[in-house]
Structure 1
Amino acid sequence: MDYSSSTQQCDSETTEPVPQENLIDLKGLEPQLPNINQLPSSILLKIFSNLSLKERCLSASLVCKYWRDLSLDFQFWKQLDLSGRQQVSDDLLDKIASRSRNIMEVNLSDCRNVTDTGVCVLASQSPGLLKYTAYRCKQLSDNSLTALASHCSHLQKIHVGNQDKLTDEGLKELGRRCTELRDIHFGQCYKISDEGMVAVAKGSPKLQKIYMQENKLILN
């Protein structure tokens, strides 16, 4: 039997090109890794809502442009708690104010690097601000209260205890413009007297809570 001819025949058959229609594309069968960005934005926003301000701003927002945009979503800037963060400055408040006009609550307690300038800028861009807290910010003065009174007429709560520079002039501005005030805290603000408190009380018919402590000029 002549095996050489049959071998040559097999070799010739195997070298013939396979028609394209008979090829199977295996690329589509490769396992696809899940991508979190394929989730609806509403789900991602829900996930982001469980992150702290620091985690959103210093971690999540740096992953990609999409996550940065999600981190800046207006819902995360309604309540702004920056208390105790020494890296908070006037420049940061300026950037926050330029991105969101939806801030309703802000806490700047113990932010020693924030000045009247930063508070004034934030107030000018936050017309819907309802609650303002700034304990132990001794560097702030009446200029901050004046800006809040001028731009945030819907304020309901102001807690600014232990601010040495505040005087009756700042309280008079609040009394003139902030008729929605319900809760005020001016404890250990040693330059405030009866004159300032009377001005706030007269201009705020909805006032319910007044907290004063060690205010030596308050007599009645």
Structure 2
Amino acid sequence: MASEDEHGGAFLVAGEDVPVCQSCVSSVATPSSITSVLEDADSMYSQSVSDVPESTPCAADTLRVSVSDLPDEILIKIFSHMSFSELIDVVQKVCSRWRRLSQDFELWHDKEYHVRYWTCFDMDTSKGGTTDEEAIKTFCDAPNLRTVFMWRSARSRVFRALYSKCQRLSELQLHVSQKLSYSVLKNLVEKCARIRTLRISDELLKSEKFSEAVSHLQHLQVLCLDVHFTESTPALRPLGDGCPQLAEIDFGYTSVDMDDLRYFLNAKRNTLKSIHIKWAMDGKRAGGLTKLRLLDLRGGYGLDDDTVIAVSRGCPALQELNVREAELLSDAAFSQIYHLEHLEILDVSWCKGLAGALFPCLARLPQLHTLFAEELEFPVMQPGLSSILALSSVRCLTFNYSVVTGVPFHKFPGKLVSLRELKIRGCRGDPKATDGLSEQMPDLKIYGSIEAEDPGFNTDDHQNDVDLEGEENVGLGGADEIRDDRSDNGKDSDVDSSSSSDNEIDSIIWDERTIPSLFLQDV
């Protein structure tokens, strides 16, 4: 027999109000959802009782039922429609049984808690608190909480409550200024061993001891490093030896030891599928990353052709490549991109050094369906610009804010049969270039329009540029020759650069000259 507290009070006659449940909520306003649930349950039992013959011993006037007689599974299903706040601020205060059921792990797989400075509205699946006390109370009330975001630094007692109560935690984001003692970090890793996604400051990983503690996360799949205000160099070797399921890492703008990075990438070459990195490194060949799916090199202003060539050779499974704003890249960078047979998404926006051999190179990518080519001048891409018509599998072209003079829009019908999106916001050129395109390609959506080119824009300058580069950049062979010349001429400079001090190498952030060594396969 359940206790009075377990049932939330005395039994009730069907059709009566439920004053016990209402009084249990007392000062807290009962949500309409809970009231509706109780009314529906009361109606259901009233209907079932009305079917009982009056002559039976279980006549309606003697049968006593309550919403508390609903099985656990039904109540959990009802509670699944409650918001984060309703579960811990209302449902848990009704009775001990409801409190226990409201903490069922099925109810918390999509809930997240935010520790923040500011007060804002909570949502159905999220709740926030501005004080450490609020955070601690929430962790105690929601032991099956899966996701926690910390938008400010918190005291050690908050983490002690977190790893003591919420041991099913799967995603944790720490504030960049968060400081932890070794014992707190070690307990967090040991007791919240199911963490799969972790965002942490590079400052916390600068010690081998701290890095080794994080490396014990056997289920960690995604690791993001935030740069602290003071320059810190995280210890990567322990992470390379541990974290057996690590598949995605975001280095951001973190400065690292190049030998450590090479060791880490070698150790994870068979598990890493995504790397976000904003700089490069120095060293010898380290072998290809054969399972890498995404490589984000945007903002690498010093990124050179050899880097992209090395990526093309060493990352055969790559599906997405971003070299946005790599202004030093020339057509030679893409001379061997045909090795990336699975490449689907490519971003070459703001790569000002591209010319006539780019599109002939891209035409050899059988799976390419999305191309970003914003802030480019297409007139300098002649005579190879017509090869854009060979991108038969492309579904989305983004040319925003580019000079699109010379792009054969009138030939897109019948050639680019898979094209569904064309983005030309802020483009300059012939305003009539896309006239009739929507009628001929009814499935195509065009975003934006082409504006008339500035009268001061001199097309002869573009033609001169094409003439100067024509001997070097015609077709794929020309791109290969460019690469060979650059390789020969760069030998002496490579020797000179190798004589720089180790301290200079370890602090490189924007020198991309020797990044290819980390992606190139040994052949």
TM-score normalised to structure 2 length: 0.31
Out of 257, 260, 263, the position equivalent to 1:193 is: 257
Residue 87 of structure 1, CA deviation = 7.8
Taking the TM superposition and a 5 Å limit, the aligned residue runs for 1:21-170 are 31-33=16-18, 34=38, 38-49=69-80, 56-57=87-88, 60-61=91-92, 64-75=95-106, 76=108, 77=144, 79-84=146-151, 86=152, 88-103=154-169, 105-110=170-175, 112=177, 115-117=180-182, 118-134=184-200, 137=201, 140-142=204-206, 144-150=210-216, 152-163=217-228, 166-169=232-235
Q: Write out per-residue CA displacement over residues 36-62 of structure 1, whole angstroms, 9 at most, x where no aligned residue.
A: 655443344445555565664566545
In structure 2, the residue matched to 1:202 is 266
72 and 93 in structure 1: CA distance in 2 versus 1, 3 angstrom threshold: farther
Q: Provide the identity percentage.
A: 20
Which residue number in structure 1 is paired with residue 278 of structure 2?
213
User: Gaps spanning 5+ residues in structure 2: where?
Assistant: 1-11, 19-37, 39-65, 109-143, 281-506, 516-523
Aligned-residue CA RMSD (Å): 3.6
Question: Do the aligned residues in 1 keep the contact of 2:221 with 2:246 (CA within 8 Å)?
Answer: yes
The letter for the 1-side match of 2:260 is G
The structural deviation recorded for 1:149 is 0.6
Specify the code of the residue in structure 2 equivalent to 1:154: H
User: AA paired with 1:73?
Assistant: D
Higher helix share: 1
Distance 1:123 1:160 in 2: 17
1:127 Cα deviation after fit:
2.6
SS at match of 1:82: strand
Runs of 4+ residues deviating >6 angstroms: none
**What secondary structure, in the 3-state scheme, does the structure 1 residue paired with 2:168 have?**
coil
Residue 217 of structure 1 aligns to which amino acid in structure 2? Answer: I
The CA distance in 1 between the partners of 2:93 and 2:176, in whole Å, is 24
Tell me how far apart the structure 2 counterparts of residues 50 and 87 of structure 1 sit (CA, whole Å).
32
Q: SS state of the match for residue 197, structure 1?
A: helix
- Checking the alignment, whether the CA contact within 8 Å between 1:140 and 1:165 is kept in structure 2 is no
Match 1:182 to one of 231, 235, 247:
247
Length-normalised TM-score, structure 1:
0.64
SS of the counterpart of 2:227?
coil
Instruction: For structure 1, list consecutive stretches of 5 or more residues without a partner in the other structure.
Output: 1-26
Tell me if structure 2 keeps the 8 A contact 1:61–1:68: yes
Code of the residue aligned with 1:91 in structure 2: it is R
